[in-house]
């Protein structure tokens, strides 16, 4: 099993290039199969979840060509089954996007119930409510969602809770429904807009993505196009917070600063200096870090996917901070691990009370999920001594060449797979 071994204490400095947004890409791959022509997708992140999703569409007959690691060509013409189920697809959450795509295109789908990071109960009731409202008969049997419709009829759907997944999924199915669908209380995340933009480029008629009311006029068919995925705001935020925690100075390139507003605002609050450019942000963390209060919210609020990284920064900030997690109930699993590194954090219900300590000390910890794992790596880079992060499988689901990018910023980090390699690393850096 691979691990990261990290010698902390070096401020990160330099430049880092951000890749395409994983959570947009997952939906975009599903949407691409809705045409019977080739959809070319660029700026594809080369991470595990994406590769699982590509395998899944290949399994059902889509043609998938990868001219290079960041480009994929997908043609859905030869899809020969609407049954998507294998041991890999069961592990990723975004398998649910194949429901929306296949229901839209073929009026039926049979997809394994989604897995994903264990960050709390992750129901899909809102997705199913939306499909049913469009006229789909939906059943759950043998660990699969089984959906079939005679016709998809446009309708009015109110989402009881703001959900990125449900918004995108309903939007995909409704793109090929008869008549007009209105989604109210829709998610406004940048990747909702990205998927809508792709579908529109394919011939769909979707208006209002990025606001809380999305209007979709169903069309008969979708066509080929070329599309470039937006950059990953969470990957960007992770490097920004790594710069803050290590008192570094990092230029994070190829980003959309507007998408980073909440992430950036909190860094300024804790005492970092931020410089914004057209497609880059620079974080300068020379000053001591200060405490603050954070609540996770749907976009444009502070993203739950940045919450663990924020916890790591606040763990070594002066004073007492709080983080309220309002999206997922089980997203504080990194706290026990961070406390092993000397943090002083208590969790009461959905609030973490963080008493800042002077510094972390290296320890052996394990990544409980994707973002929590990335946060523990940041803690390791800021800590005194050696940190070993186990279960980095989770981190590789969503971060491309994580250790290489951190090492290019001066971080002393290496991916290893044995005790011997850990010893070698220790000798090398001593
Ligand atoms: C997406 O998950 C992301 N995953 C998550 O990314 C991200 O944390 C989350 O959005 C919030 O931004 C993907 O895009 C694959 P939601 P999703 O539906 O779509 C409740 C990462 O680290 N809900 O917006 O599953 C739900 O329990 C991750 O990259 C229902 O109650 O999130 C949660 O409380 C992990 N019923 C809230 O809504 C439903 O049917 C928001 O969830 C659906 C959701």
Q: Within the chain, what is the greatest distance between any pair of CA atoms? A: 68
Residues with a catalytic annotation lie at 117
421 Cα: distance to centroid of ligand 1 (angstroms): 37
For residue 296, give every residue at least 6 positions away whose Cβ sits within 8 Å of its Cβ, in sequence order, or none: 302, 303, 304, 307, 323, 324, 325, 326, 327, 331
Q: What is the mean pLDDT of residues 255-284?
A: 98
Residue minimizing CA distance to atom 3 of ligand 1: 23
Residue 406 CA to residue 376 CA, distance in Å, equals 13
Cis peptide bond upstream of 35, omega within 30? no
Residue 376: its H or E element = helix 370-382
H helical segments located in 134-284: 164-175, 190-201, 233-245, 261-269
Q: Which of 254, 244, 154 is nearest to 206 (CA)?
A: 154
Model confidence over 38-61: pLDDT tens digits?
999 999 999 999 999 999 999 999
Write down the pLDDT at residue 128.
Answer: 96
Contact 127 CB / ligand 1 (< 6 Å): yes
Look at residue 118 and tell me whether its pLDDT is greater than 70: no
CA dist 142 and 158 (Å) reads 29
Report the SS3 class of residue 68.
Answer: strand
Distance between Cα 27 and ligand 1 center (Å): 13
C-alpha span between 155 and 169 (Å, rounded): 15
Can you read off the two tokens belonging to residue 285?
A: 């963390």
Q: Which residues pair with 153 in a beta bridge?
A: 178
- What is the per-residue pLDDT for 257? 97
Q: What are the structure tokens assigned to 322, written together?
A: 């709080």
**Ordered domains of the chain (ranges, CATH):** 3-19+231-429 (3.65.10.10), 22-228 (3.65.10.10)
CA distance 244 to 313: 7
Residue 116 has pLDDT above 90, yes or no: no
Check residue 119 and give its pLDDT: 55
Q: What is the pLDDT of residue 117?
A: 54
Q: Say if residue 124's pLDDT is above 70.
A: yes
pLDDT over 70 at 294, yes or no: yes
> Parallel, antiparallel, or unpaired for β 108-112 and 83-84?
parallel
Residues above pLDDT 90, as percent of the chain: 92
Structure tokens at 101: 């795509």
Give yes or no for residue 120 having a pLDDT over 80: no
For residue range 60-72, what is the model confidence (pLDDT) as tens digits?
A: 999 999 999 999 9
Rounded CA-CA distance 246/239 in Å is: 11
What digits encode the pLDDT tens for the residues 77-89? 999 999 998 777 8
- Segment 256-275 shows an average pLDDT of 98
Could you report the per-residue pLDDT of 344-397, keeping only the tens digit for each?
999 999 999 999 999 999 999 999 999 999 999 999 999 999 999 999 999 999
pLDDT at 329: 82
**DSSP string for 263-304:** HHHHHHHTT-EEEE-SSEEEEE--SPPB--EEEB-STTSB-G
- Read off φ and ψ for residue 30, nearest 5 degrees: -65, -45
Confidence of residue 177 (pLDDT cuts 50, 70, 90): very high
- Cα–Cα separations (whole angstroms), residue 180 to 74, 215, 353: 28, 7, 47
Given a contact cutoff of 8 angstroms between Cβ atoms, the answer to whether 310 and 264 are in contact is no
| 129, 131, 132, 133: CA torsion to nearest 10 | 80
Q: Find how far residue 228's CA is from the centre of its chain.
A: 17
Atom of ligand 1 nearest to the CA of 329: 34
Q: How much is the pTM?
A: 0.97
The per-residue pLDDT for range 385-427, each reduced to its tens digit, is 999 999 999 999 999 999 999 999 999 999 999 999 999 999 9
Q: How high is the mean pLDDT of the chain?
A: 96
Indicate if ligand 1 lies below 6 Å from the C-beta of 397: no
Q: Residue with the nearest Cα to atom 8 of ligand 1?
A: 305
Q: Is the CB–ligand 1 distance for residue 186 below 6 Å?
A: no
Of ligand 1's listed atoms, the one at least distance from the Cα of 23 is: 14
Where does the pLDDT of residue 121 fall: very low under 50, low under 70, confident under 90, or very high at 90 and above? low
């Amino acid at each position: 099993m691979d691990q990261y071994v990290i010698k902390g204490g070096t401020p990160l400095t330099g430049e880092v290039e951000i890749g395409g947004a994983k959570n947009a890409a997952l939906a975009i791959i599903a949407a691409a199969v809705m045409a019977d022509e080739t959809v070319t997708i660029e700026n594809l992140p080369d991470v595990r979840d994406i590769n699982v999703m590509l395998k899944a569409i290949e399994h059902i007959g889509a043609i998938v060509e990868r001219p290079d690691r960041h480009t994929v060509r997908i043609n859905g013409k030869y899809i020969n089954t609407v049954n998507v189920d294998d041991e890999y697809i069961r592990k990723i959450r975004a398998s649910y996007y194949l429901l929306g795509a296949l229901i839209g295109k073929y009026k039926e789908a049979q997809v394994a119930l989604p897995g994903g990071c264990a960050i709390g109960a992750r129901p899909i009731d809102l997705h199913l409510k939306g499909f049913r409202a469009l006229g789909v008969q939906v059943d759950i049997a043998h660990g699969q969602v089984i959906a079939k419709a005679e016709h998809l009829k446009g309708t009015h759907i109110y989402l009881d809770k703001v959900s990125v997944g449900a918004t995108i999924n309903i939007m995909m199915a409704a793109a090929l429904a008869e008549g007009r669908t209105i989604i109210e209380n829709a998610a406004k995340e940048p990747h909702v807009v990205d998927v809508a933009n792709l579908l529109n480029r394919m011939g769909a008629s979707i208006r209002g993505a990025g606001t809380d009311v999305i209007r979709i006029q169903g069309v008969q068919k979708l066509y080929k196009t070329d599309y470039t995925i937006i950059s990953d705001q969470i990957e960007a935020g992770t490097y920004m917070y790594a710069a803050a925690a290590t008192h570094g100075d990092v230029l994070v390139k190829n980003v959309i600063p507007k998408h980073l507003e909440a992430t950036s605002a909190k860094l300024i609050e804790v005492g970092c200096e931020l410089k914004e450019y057209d497609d880059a942000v620079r974080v300068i963390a020379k000053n001591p870090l200060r405490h603050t209060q954070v609540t996770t919210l749907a976009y444009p609020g502070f993203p739950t996917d940045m919450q663990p990284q924020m916890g790591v920064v606040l763990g070594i900030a002066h004073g007492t901070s709080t983080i309220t997690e309002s999206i997922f109930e089980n997203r504080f699993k990194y706290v026990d691990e961070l406390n092993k590194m000397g943090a002083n954090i208590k969790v009461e219900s959905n609030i973490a009370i963080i008493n800042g300590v002077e510094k972390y000390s290296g320890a052996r910890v394990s990544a409980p999920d994707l973002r929590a794992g990335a946060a523990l790596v940041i803690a390791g880079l800021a800590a005194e001594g050696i940190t070993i992060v186990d279960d980095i499988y989770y981190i590789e689901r969503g971060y491309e060449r994580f250790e290489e990018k951190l090492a290019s910023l001066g971080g002393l980090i290496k991916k290893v797979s044995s005790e011997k390699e850990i010893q070698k690393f220790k000798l090398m850096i001593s």
